Chains A and B, each alone.
Chain A
């Protein structure tokens, strides 16, 4: 709002305020002036009062209107003012006209109206002027129009006065307006200024509070950042320290300005000593002299660098990295140096590489072995025919036959091929070994002559054998093969002569890092030559088959691989030390055994010995079958042959005559050799078996055959060897005869045997007789008891069911007779046909020591008898009373004279209970009885009973059957041998 407008508004405002008052005052003044009329013109008083009341009413009406309503438009006020002014002027004019017109003194009334209207009404000057003209017009115009101006002077005067009055009012109005305008202008300016000031103050205040808020926000933010900074700093520190990698911060001069805990640990120096050292001190570049590149990296690195180094002084592999630190402008301000100990990883990697190489090598050897084994199988069959038939031909032909020479060559070549095949099998470890306890020295000494011949005259063979030397478990043939191969190898490396030394020694191998050695005691044999030696490359591959350095056609390349295979198959180890130009040493280690050498009865058959027995030959390979038949038939044997196991069984079933020997292949179609042998042995228990085998994939079967001591011949078969073997096997006693040989010599043992059944008596006689014991036989219990009382026996065999007196009664009689005499209990073995639980109880109750069920097994019988025989021997030499020299005399207090025998009797009763409890394996009863004896024995002076009781109690507590049995036996022995002296 500008100033002018402000002024106008202010004036208008005063008009709005003032106009109702003006109207009210106008109304009052008109009424008041009626008093004047009453004085000056009483004749018009009433008329004029009417006029005056009318105009007053109008004015009062205006007052009421404005008093109650405020109009927005100023024009309404101006119009009302105008109407009121003109109305007032007209009222006065009417009165003027009534009181003489132009000469009336009431003109002054017009003046009065004019003064009020112009002076007091705050309107614009132009409006005031307009009002003046209107008021004045209202006065002069009706007069001029209606009257003849008679008294001009008066009229003139009146007009002049009136105009002067109005003009004065107008001036006044003008002046008032001007001053008002000034005043309002000033006020406006002041107001304006004030507003401006206030605005500025507000403005400033607002700005201030803004910045305060900003400040507060900033403070909060700063605090938050500080906290976060602290947190991340400590987190960083912890991380920095927790890593096992060495981390160092370097400045641009490579001086350490910060480092982590791992660094102090790595250098084993305190923190403060390391700070300030230079990197070259801590990470000596001297160490890296060789690697110029590394040095330059460490000197001038401006980018990420990394590498691995080996610190020889610390013996560690390190992986390190160097990274630059830059400020915001990209300026280099330092470096981060990190390193990590990777020794373990490097070693592991190396280890893995090594393992992988080894694995590859093993796989390679294995697959070659498989191949060789597979080939060897077929080869053996072919060679069997070649060798077999050529030898047969040689035997049949007269010595001067022209074909003899050719056939001999065929035979020799076959033999060579067979030996090659054997070597292949040896390498593939698929051959069957005949493991015996042998002495390496003996083998070597037996071979010396042949070895000397093999190596030739210009090579000296030195033997340096440790004597005596422990035995090893080995296949003699294979050992010979090994030695032969090693010596041939040595010979071939010394074409112009030299020395070869064979040594043996007992060594103890410990576990070593690079060798897969089972620690233990070994017998070592070494072969050292002074030959050309082998290069590293050759050494790595020397055990591979078909590798030869001898030049084409000279060697098979199988020698060393065969050695390797054989040594491994013997659970041995092999080491090689070789230097080119210096010679080679092979050392072979075989596990030592602490056993005597097996005595082998090798019967040398100088010529083929035949026989008349019947032989069944089974092989699915016709040529082998034919060869076998042709070898054995001319020797006098009766031959049957079958192409399969099933056919062989059929043939055996159809053949009424005896078959003494089965010669069978192991690997055949449906029924293999072992199954066939078992089947036939069921039908013909006496049949003997020779297995022939090329090779089987199933090494377990082979091992099993060796374990079971089955007779096994390797293909290819040589007729002479076969014939010898057949004779050897046929001459062997059968199993029963053989085991009879092993029966313990029981001579001097006296056995009383009671049985009413004659066949049983006969059987047991045959069983026992070969053991040379004295057997006394009777038919019933009565005779047995009589015999027992008159003679003395180590053992009683008592049949339970017998006429006249049965076994139980006889046993009881024997026991009570023994007890009455204070004799030890003679073992009574009850022989029963049934052996049910109740019967066994009754048997034990009767005092029998043990029992046996019919049919009596020979082994069981002999085992039992000999077990009692050993007891008899350990206890005392027999002198007839069952105690021998073991008679025990015990001194007992004479006060106990009446008690002691009863006590002993009680213990004898206990003994029976003990035996039966033992049978039932009733530990608790035995323990209780043992405990009781332990408590009482010593009291009666029988300290031994206390001791034995203690032993029995403990054994029962531990549930140790053997110890219990022993204790009870001891008690029985003690009780039967005791003699009391009272004193």
Chain B
């Protein structure tokens, strides 16, 4: 089972802790970023397969990170999942327009987070015709 590099971006340390805990003992190799700027730096250096992006963050918000990756760097292959505590459907629609593979509504359940992220990755791979990594 190949490892999946995942970058988890959230300004809230408690959320980062939850990601860390939730994705323990899984296929994921994790790295964390506390804001959009940091996230982009890690993205450039590390080339993660998956990015989980919080929408509301200081320094650089999730939207602009998403825009930068999709539009400026023209990277359509990295799986990007938005995490939001907002239930405003407009926010979610905006994300979809900008090209995300999925979104997570906060608060999420510790047990479900890993499966949710894998589900989005598989969905994306299915689309592009590549076998998704299988997670037991």
Which residues from chain A sit less than 8 Å from chain B, CB to CB?
Answer: 893, 895-896, 899, 902-903, 906, 928, 931-932, 934-941, 943, 946
A934 contacts B106, C-beta separation under 8 Å = yes
Instruction: List, in ascending order, chain B residues with CB within 8 A of A932's CB.
Output: 12, 85
Given A899-B14, A906-B13, 16 further pairs, Cβ under 8 A: A899-B17, A932-B85, A934-B85, A934-B106, A935-B12, A935-B85, A935-B107, A936-B14, A936-B106, A936-B107, A937-B107, A938-B106, A939-B14, A939-B108, A939-B110, A946-B107
Q: In the complex, A946 Cα to B109 Cα: how many Å?
A: 12
Instruction: List, in ascending order, chain B residues with CB within 8 A of A928's CB.
Output: 56
* Interface: B96 (CB within 8 A): no
Instruction: List, in ascending order, chain A residues with CB within 8 A of B85's CB.
Output: 931-932, 934-935
Q: Contacts A895-B110, A939-B109, A939-B110 given: A931-B18 contact, CB under 8 Å? A: no
Instruction: List, in ascending order, chain A residues with CB within 8 A of B12's CB.
Output: 932, 935-936
A906 contacts B14, C-beta separation under 8 Å = yes
Report A950 CB to chain B, min CB distance, Å.
Answer: 8
Instruction: List, in ascending order, chain A residues with CB within 8 A of B83's CB.
Output: 935
A931, A936, A940 interface centre (most CB from chain B within 10 Å): A936
Per-position binary interface string of chain B over residues 1-41, scored 1 when its CB falls under 8 Å from any chain A CB and 0 otherwise: 00000000000111101100100100000000000000000
Q: In the complex, A345 Cα to B108 Cα: how many Å?
A: 75
Chain B interface bracket (under 10, 10 to 19, 20 to 34, 35 or more) = 10 to 19
Q: Contacts A903-B14, A936-B15, A939-B18 given: A896-B110 contact, CB under 8 Å? A: yes
In the assembled complex, 17 residue pairs joining A and B whose CB atoms fall closer than 8 Å, in A order, are A895-B24, A896-B21, A896-B110, A928-B56, A932-B12, A934-B106, A935-B84, A935-B85, A936-B12, A936-B14, A936-B15, A936-B106, A939-B15, A939-B18, A940-B14, A940-B107, A941-B110
Q: In the complex, A946 Cα to B56 Cα: how many Å?
A: 16
Report B44 CB to chain A, min CB distance, Å.
Answer: 27
Instruction: List, in ascending order, chain B residues with CB within 8 A of A936's CB.
Output: 12, 14-15, 18, 106-107
Q: In the complex, A410 Cα to B9 Cα: how many Å?
A: 100
Q: In the complex, A934 Cα to B12 Cα: how many Å?
A: 12
Q: In the complex, A939 Cα to B15 Cα: how many Å?
A: 8
A939 contacts B56, C-beta separation under 8 Å = no
Segment 107-133 of B: residues with Cβ below 8 Å from A: 107-111
Instruction: List, in ascending order, chain A residues with CB within 8 A of B110's CB.
Output: 893, 895-896, 939, 941
Report B116 CB to chain A, min CB distance, Å.
Answer: 12
Report A945 CB to chain B, min CB distance, Å.
Answer: 9
Q: In the complex, A937 Cα to B110 Cα: how many Å?
A: 11
Nearest 10 pairs of A and B residues by beta carbon: A938-B107, A935-B85, A935-B106, A939-B107, A939-B18, A936-B14, A934-B85, A903-B14, A946-B107, A932-B12
Instruction: List, in ascending order, chain B residues with CB within 8 A of A903's CB.
Output: 14, 17
Q: In the complex, A652 Cα to B18 Cα: how many Å?
A: 78
**CB-nearest residue of chain B relative to A903?**
B14
Which residues from chain B sit less than 8 Å from chain A, CB to CB?
Answer: 12-15, 17-18, 21, 24, 56, 83-85, 106-111
A940 contacts B106, C-beta separation under 8 Å = no
Q: In the complex, A893 Cα to B108 Cα: how many Å?
A: 13
**CB-nearest residue of chain A relative to B17?**
A899
Q: In the complex, A104 Cα to B13 Cα: how many Å?
A: 183
A895, A899, A932, A934 interface centre (most CB from chain B within 10 Å): A932
Report B13 CB to chain A, min CB distance, Å.
Answer: 8
**CB-nearest residue of chain A relative to B85?**
A935
Report B24 CB to chain A, min CB distance, Å.
Answer: 8
Q: In the complex, A893 Cα to B56 Cα: how many Å?
A: 27
B21 contacts A895, C-beta separation under 8 Å = yes
Instruction: List, in ascending order, chain B residues with CB within 8 A of A938's CB.
Output: 106-109
A903, A906, A935 interface centre (most CB from chain B within 10 Å): A935
B56 contacts A940, C-beta separation under 8 Å = no
A899 contacts B21, C-beta separation under 8 Å = yes
Report B34 CB to chain A, min CB distance, Å.
Answer: 13
Instruction: List, in ascending order, chain A residues with CB within 8 A of B14's CB.
Output: 899, 903, 906, 936, 939-940
Report A926 CB to chain B, min CB distance, Å.
Answer: 14
**CB-nearest residue of chain B relative to A895?**
B21
Q: In the complex, A936 Cα to B105 Cα: how many Å?
A: 11
Report A334 CB to chain B, min CB distance, Å.
Answer: 76
A935 contacts B15, C-beta separation under 8 Å = yes
Report A923 CB to chain B, min CB distance, Å.
Answer: 15
Instruction: List, in ascending order, chain B residues with CB within 8 A of A906's CB.
Output: 13-14
Q: In the complex, A939 Cα to B85 Cα: how many Å?
A: 11
Q: In the complex, A908 Cα to B20 Cα: how many Å?
A: 22
Instruction: List, in ascending order, chain A residues with CB within 8 A of B56's CB.
Output: 928, 931
Q: In the complex, A936 Cα to B56 Cα: how many Å?
A: 13
**CB-nearest residue of chain B relative to A942?**
B107
Q: In the complex, A932 Cα to B107 Cα: how many Å?
A: 10
**CB-nearest residue of chain A relative to B15?**
A936
Instruction: List, in ascending order, chain B residues with CB within 8 A of A941's CB.
Output: 110
Q: In the complex, A619 Cα to B85 Cα: how many Å?
A: 74
Q: In the complex, A195 Cα to B49 Cα: how many Å?
A: 127
Report A930 CB to chain B, min CB distance, Å.
Answer: 10
Q: In the complex, A403 Cα to B13 Cα: how many Å?
A: 102
Report A266 CB to chain B, min CB distance, Å.
Answer: 59
B83, B85, B109 interface centre (most CB from chain A within 10 Å): B85
Report B28 CB to chain A, min CB distance, Å.
Answer: 16
**CB-nearest residue of chain A relative to B11?**
A932
Q: In the complex, A805 Cα to B109 Cα: how many Å?
A: 46
Report A771 CB to chain B, min CB distance, Å.
Answer: 43
Q: Contacts A906-B14, A939-B15, A940-B14 given: A934-B21 contact, CB under 8 Å? A: no
Q: In the complex, A943 Cα to B56 Cα: how many Å?
A: 20
Report B101 CB to chain A, min CB distance, Å.
Answer: 20
